[in-house]
Structure 1
Amino acid sequence: MSRTAIRLVLFDAFDTLITPRLPIHVQYAQEAHKHGLPESSITPASVRAAFKPAFRKTTERFPQWGRHAQPKPMSPSEWWMVCIEETMRLAGAEQGKLDQVMPRLGKALLDRFESAEGYRAFADVIPCCESANGRYGDPYEAHELAYKRPVTYLQQAGVKTGLVSNADDRILKTLGALGITPLLTHGTTISQVAGYEKPDPRIFQTACRSAGIERCEEGVLMVGDEVEADYHGALRAGLEARLIRRPGEFSDGAKRRSEDEEREMLHRDGVCVIRSLEEVVDEVRERNRQS
């Protein structure tokens, strides 16, 4: 393992920093019932079966969140309205009734997933990223206290932080609502704006440049939950990478194999796995103290 000091830590968003409060298909079904679609036709199971095909169809019809749609580009909210309607249609909604409720239902779902109602931050996120400027005079003064609590802070150690996500700009509202955006010292790099998706090396390189780092291979660490998009994508871009696997916590749409299958695959490929973001902080403290 490299012992270069870590200057920048980049995080994935979904299932790394944040996760749905309830499975997405459950939340979609809840809002559908609130807005008049009957429970007899729209169920969590029917929404779950419909969501991925609807997402795939909307993506094929309007790639890159509709940024090249004709005759004019779509906003992410417009793109999601199309996806939500297609999800409900495939889930069993009657078209006439769907036409009546979609303006209200679509807005309700957009609002829900831009807020703390739809998502929550993992318990180790704020302690990992939060600024403690002024709390301790020296970055390592709280060493013993940090390990007892344990609360350590990347910003306190002078490490830049940022985000790289295959998402549209609505995620900025979600991160803001959860108090995460101010903790990312060098902002967010999202695929809708960058024009590239992980695992494309260019999106990681864009994030590094945003943090003032031209050579990504020197002291940059990517933390994410998807093996190909986050881990191998970062390695191909020249970054170091850590794959996070919190025990038992990941959302319904996360790309995961069975536990036994994945354990064997990760071991075979030499993937560096961490169990919480506190391990990132531990590594930063150790490496940056020694450098």
Structure 2
Amino acid sequence: MSRIRLVLFDAFDTLITPRLPIHVQYAQEAHKHGFSESVITPATVRSAFKPAFRKTTELFPEWGRHAEPKMSPSEWWMMCIEETMRMAGAEQSKLEEVMPRLGKALLDRFESAEGYRAFDDVVPCCESPQRAWIPYGKLTMNVVTQLKQAGVKTGLVSNADDRILKTLDALGITPLLSHGTTISQIAGYEKPDSRIFEAACRTAGIESEVTEGATDKHDENGEEHRQFQGVLMVGDEVEADYHGAVSAGLEARLIRRPGDFSDGAKRVSEEEERETLHRDGVHVIRSLKEVMNEVKHRNGL
């Protein structure tokens, strides 16, 4: 196998995850802003969030990118939050009164280390007595830094709006990525669309090429099969991250850490999918440390 030149990471449930389930955090902020704990509960928010997200997406696709007038992602999320609270049982007059403050509190929370945390194999964190979250990557080497020191480029590909950039900054992840982020809201394509992977590769200065020695160099449309040699995509969603990357001509690794995954992740439990993953030959890893081990092996380090 070729040496690894570039590793691309998904964001949610690959590098970062909510500190608490999103519906719990929404309910907490609602209670701080005067909503009754007997009305707005984690359960009512959980049942409301996906329908509200779907409704807002149908009305204003791609975080309002094509709305007239054009919406910012923050404006889009304010609408989604308001619809979530309404569906969760919030009284309308009270919602109209507190929504500007409640919406801003939730936006700020999920743009910071209060709402999200990095997994321990990305930027390990330790807690000070003052509950300030300090990037442990400043004290010890993390996997992404190891890749950089090994001469391997790194980047991120995420189906998200640009608010995730603030989250990555807050968690100390952005400086670790040598070739930045490719975000669907900005790129105009969502995984598993091949074009978003191609854009990320080209940002890192890597172009596709025809695989030497391939027995079938053309697809059913007569176009050449092209590969991004030495590029690895790591993510947690089978279709978006794994099959999307493979279809674009990259290699892929599906990460399956022990434990639960966050609400909204487009996957089922490992037990439910194990047979399918085995049948399809999906390469599963348990930790980002396995990526570093593969780099060392393939790059002769």
Alignment TM-score, normalising by the size of structure 2: 0.86
Q: 1:94 aligns with which of 91, 94, 102?
A: 91
Q: 1:73 aligns with which of 70, 76, 88?
A: 70
Quote the offset at 1:63 in angstroms: 0.4
Residue 97 of structure 1 aligns with an amino acid whose one-letter code is K
Q: 2:169 aligns with which of 176, 195, 199?
A: 176
> Which residue is 2:152 aligned to?
159
- 3-state SS of paired residue (2:299): helix
Residue 82 of structure 2 aligns with an amino acid whose one-letter code is E
Is contact 1:6–1:284 with CA below 8 Å preserved after alignment? yes
C-alpha deviations, 1:136-162, integer Å up to 9, x for none?
A: xxxxxxxxxx9xx99971001010000
Q: How many residues align?
A: 271
Where in structure 1 are there 5+ consecutive unaligned residues? 136-145
Is contact 2:144–2:176 with CA below 8 Å preserved after alignment? no
Residue 106 of structure 2 aligns with an amino acid whose one-letter code is L
Q: Residues 93 and 75 of structure 1: is their aligned pair in 2 closer, same or farther, counting only changes over 3 Å?
A: same
Q: 2:201 aligns with which of 184, 205, 208?
A: 208
Relative to total residues, which structure has the larger helix share, 1 or 2? 1
Mapped pair 1:104 → 2:97: no
Percent identity over paired residues = 80
Q: 1:8 aligns with which of 6, 24, 28?
A: 6
Residue 4 of structure 1 aligns with an amino acid whose one-letter code is S
Cα distance between partner residues in 2 of 1:234 and 1:150: 21
Q: Residues 184 and 268 of structure 1: is their aligned pair in 2 closer, same or farther, counting only changes over 3 Å?
A: same
> Which residue is 1:33 aligned to?
31
> Which residue is 1:140 aligned to?
none
Cα distance between partner residues in 2 of 1:131 and 1:39: 38
Is contact 2:229–2:250 with CA below 8 Å preserved after alignment? yes
Quote the offset at 1:131 in angstroms: 8.7
C-alpha deviations, 1:238-280, integer Å up to 9, x for none?
A: 0000000001142122222233221111111110000000000
Cα distance between partner residues in 2 of 1:219 and 1:258: 30
**RMSD across aligned C-alpha pairs, in angstroms?**
2.0
Q: List aligned pairs for 1:122-271, cutoff 5 A.
A: 122-126=119-123, 153-215=146-208, 217-271=228-282
Cα distance between partner residues in 1 of 2:114 and 2:151: 32
Alignment TM-score, normalising by the size of structure 1: 0.89
Where in structure 2 are there 5+ consecutive unaligned residues? 125-135, 209-226
